């Protein structure tokens, strides 16, 4: 593009104000009318300036001054007046919008409640107050400059795991799922859930031997009672006892199995030895060794003797399954047949 005395030549008059091939600063080029040979008039420049935002207009005027200092296009002296006119136009637009809102609110006043009408009146008074103080522009600028708040994500509650409902097998009359075994040895030691009292082991093993004061001739039963029980047993004492535990005094299978095992040892004269590795009795300490026990014997005296054995040789950690419980069942079996 060529210049002559600060004016455009005839050849340059038909060209664009900006070089479209290389726009300055990334600005969109403004063109002359391609069919016109005369430059833009002041009125055309003013109309363009009135429709542009202030920042874009200021950038355009800077480019105009750099490439085209011609006073017929735009001058530095007219820049302030153009900017002020643009500002007046914006304020006029704000006032127009405010009047439209006021008219809209006035049209809907009749259908509003007292609370809504009071709210609208308060907004109008605030608008008038801002207008009288000249703060409408500041209000708009503040609203435009305020950043939108990013919405906070709500915390998602973790899903609560509901444990399965506990049910009582005892109340529903269902059979037990586990019954501890009470064989000789450590299986007598029933592990409790609660804290268990552990007694100190004696410093030395006792050599005490219990004299069994019971034999077949010293039973407290009368001769008639002995004959009666012997007749009922019919030579099958253990079979009658098992039948009694099944029908008369029914117990669990494991309970019956433990009672029958201990009574069988006593009826054969083998005796009972507590062979627990941790709490067991001395090697040769056996209850009723060599004495055959039957339903005609003094069972209560045997219970007292068993208690003395535990006090001297060591307490039964099987909760009575070693001696006390089997002898009690034998005593109940004896009394049942005597009372019939």
Query: Residue 199: is its pLDDT beyond 60?
Result: no
Same domain, 291 and 218: yes
Which residues lie closer than 8 Å to 324 by C-beta, 6 or more apart? 303, 306, 307, 316
* Average pLDDT for 191-210: 46
Answer yes or no: do 230 and 322 share one domain.
yes
Picking from 88, 120, 141, the residue at the C-terminal end of a domain is 141
If asked whether residues 330 and 198 sit together in one domain, one would say yes
Confidence of residue 216 (pLDDT cuts 50, 70, 90): very low
pLDDT for 119 equals 92
The predicted-structure confidence for 237-270, as pLDDT tens digits, reads as follows 898 899 898 888 888 888 889 999 999 998 888 8
The pLDDT assigned to 217 comes to: 37
Give the pLDDT of residue 221.
83
**Would you state the structure tokens that stand for residue 246, as one six-digit string?**
């099944």
Helix (H) or strand (E) holding 7: strand 7-8
Q: Are residues 322 and 191 in the same domain?
A: yes
- Burial of 288 from C-beta contacts in 10 A (0-12 / 13-18 / 19+): buried
Q: How many domains does the chain have?
A: 2
Q: Are 296 and 219 in contact (CB under 8 A)?
A: yes
Task: Tell me what pLDDT residue 118 has.
Answer: 92
Q: How confident is the model at residue 73 (pLDDT cuts 50, 70, 90)?
A: very low
pLDDT in tens, 27-63: 444 444 444 445 545 445 556 656 666 667 666 666 6
Same domain, 96 and 198: no
166 part of a folded domain: no
Mean pLDDT of the chain: 70
Give the DSSP per-residue string, 203-228: SS-----------TTS-SS-HHHHHH
Compute the distance between CA of residue 203 and CA of residue 199 in angstroms, rounded to an integer.
Answer: 12
Of these ranges, 35-44, 132-141, 193-202, the one predicted with the greatest mean pLDDT is 132-141
Residue 111 located in a structural domain: yes
The residues near 73 (Cβ < 8 Å, ≥ 6 apart) are 17, 39, 40, 45, 64
Domain-located, residue 179 = no
Does 266 lie in the same domain as 136?
A: no
Q: What is the DSSP secondary-structure string of 56-80?
A: HHHHHHHHHHHH---TTT--HHHHH
- pLDDT of 83 reads 59
CA 65-71-73 angle, to 5 degrees, is: 70
Is the pLDDT at 192 greater than 50? The verdict is no
Beta-carbon count within 10 A of 28 CB: 9
pLDDT in tens, 277-325: 788 888 888 888 888 888 888 888 888 888 888 888 888 887 888 888 8
Determine, yes or no, domain membership for 283.
Answer: yes
Q: At residue 93, what are phi and psi to the nearest 5 degrees?
A: -65, -40
115 & 230 share domain: no
Cβ neighbours for 172, distance < 8 A, ≥ 6 positions apart:
none
Q: Is residue 169 a part of any domain in this protein?
A: no
Q: Are residues 294 and 200 in the same domain?
A: yes
Q: Give yes or no: residues 211 and 114 share one domain.
A: no
State both tokens at 289.
């060794």
Residue 266 CA to residue 51 CA, distance in Å, equals 120
Task: Please tell me the pTM assigned to this model.
Answer: 0.37
Q: Taking a C-beta distance cutoff of 8 angstroms, is the pair 258, 326 a contact?
A: yes
Cβ proximity of 225 and 330 under 8 Å = no
Asked if pLDDT for residue 98 goes beyond 70, the answer is yes
Range of the domain at 12: 3-141
Predicted local confidence at residue 23, as pLDDT: 43
Domain boundary among 114, 141, 168: 141
Answer whether residue 171 is part of any domain.
no
* 222 and 132 within one domain: no
């Amino acid at each position: 593009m060529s210049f002559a005395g600060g004016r455009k030549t005839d050849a340059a008059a038909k060209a664009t104000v900006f070089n479209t091939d290389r726009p300055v600063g990334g600005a969109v080029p403004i063109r002359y009318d391609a069919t016109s040979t005369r430059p833009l008039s002041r009125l055309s420049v003013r109309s363009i300036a009135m429709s542009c935002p202030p920042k874009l207009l200021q950038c355009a005027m800077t480019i105009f001054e750099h490439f085209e200092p011609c006073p017929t296009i735009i001058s530095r002296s007219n820049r302030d007046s153009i900017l002020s006119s643009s500002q007046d136009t914006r304020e006029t637009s704000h006032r127009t919008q405010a009047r439209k809102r006021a008219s809209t609110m006035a049209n809907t006043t009749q259908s509003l409640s007292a609370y809504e009408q009071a709210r609208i009146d308060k907004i109008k008074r605030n608008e008038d107050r801002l207008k009288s103080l000249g703060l409408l522009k500041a209000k708009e600028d503040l609203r435009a400059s305020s950043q939108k708040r990013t919405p906070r994500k709500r915390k998602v509650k973790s899903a609560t795991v509901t444990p399965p409902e506990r049910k009582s097998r005892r109340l529903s009359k269902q059979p037990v799922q586990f019954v501890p075994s009470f064989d000789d040895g450590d299986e007598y030691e029933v592990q409790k859930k609660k804290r268990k009292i552990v007694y100190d082991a004696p410093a030395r093993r006792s050599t005490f031997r219990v004299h069994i004061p019971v034999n077949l001739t010293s039973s407290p039963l009368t001769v008639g009672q002995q004959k009666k029980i012997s007749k009922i047993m019919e030579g099958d004492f253990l079979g009658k006892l098992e039948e009694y535990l099944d029908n008369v005094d029914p117990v669990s299978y494991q309970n019956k199995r433990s009672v029958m095992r201990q009574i069988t040892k006593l009826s054969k004269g083998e005796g009972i030895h507590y062979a627990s590795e941790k709490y067991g009795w001395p090697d040769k300490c056996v209850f009723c060794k060599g004495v055959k026990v039957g339903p005609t014997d003094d069972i209560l005296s045997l219970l007292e003797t068993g208690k003395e054995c535990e006090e001297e040789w060591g307490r039964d950690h099987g909760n009575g399954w070693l001696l006390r419980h089997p002898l009690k069942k034998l005593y109940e079996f004896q009394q049942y047949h005597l009372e019939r």
